[in-house]
Amino acid sequence: MEVNDKVVVVTGGASGIGRAMAQRFHAEGAKKVVVADLDGEGAQQVAETVDGWAKTVDVSDESQILALIEETENQFGAIDLFCSNAGIGLGKGLDEPPEVWQKIWEVNTMSHVYAAKHLVPRMTKRGGGYLLNTASAA
């Protein structure tokens, strides 16, 4: 996909793979790179380097993903590429308490479901768009 003059959202954009994607999309000429992360300060720092927009978002909360989508599209136009990249690696083994596993599930799985639930119908209606899900060894 060519991102020149496209609106791109990257969750988990404050560090690691997300930061690298935001930087690359900016270098490739994206119209706007939205850097979303639970770490709002980190998202702001990355956004400043890519002439982007930072948004503090907890991707485990469906309402916050919907707000991210709506605010982005209201300010910058239709999202062309949504990189559902945020992820966590809290668990150190099978003996972790249930609340740790629940948080991992919410961030690493359900956040992708929420993004798809709210984006795919919009993208289908307007005839295009991309949803990219990142999975890592973490």
Tens of pLDDT, residues 8-45? 999 999 999 999 999 999 999 999 999 999 999 999 99
Residue 70's nearest CA partner among 104, 105, 34, 106 is 34
Q: Answer whether residue 74 shows pLDDT above 70.
A: yes
Helix (H), strand (E), coil (C) string for 48-82: HHCCCEEEECCCCCHHHHHHHHHHHHHHHCCCCEE
Task: Kindly report which listed range (27-36, 51-60, 87-96, 122-131) carries the lowest average pLDDT score.
Answer: 87-96
Alpha-carbon span 30 to 17, nearest angstrom: 17
Distances (CA, A) of 16 to 20, 61, 124: 6, 22, 30
**Domain, as residue range, for 117:** 7-133
> Is residue 138 in a domain?
no
**In CATH, what number is assigned to the domain containing residue 81?**
3.40.50.720
Q: How confident is the prediction for the chain on average, in pLDDT?
A: 95
How much of the chain exceeds pLDDT 70, in percent?
98
Residues listed for the chain: 138
> Is residue 15 in a domain?
yes
Q: Which of 14 and 101 is assigned the larger pLDDT?
A: 14
What is the pLDDT confidence band of residue 94, given thresholds at 50, 70 and 90?
confident
User: How many domains would you assign to the chain?
Assistant: 1
pLDDT of residue 138: 62
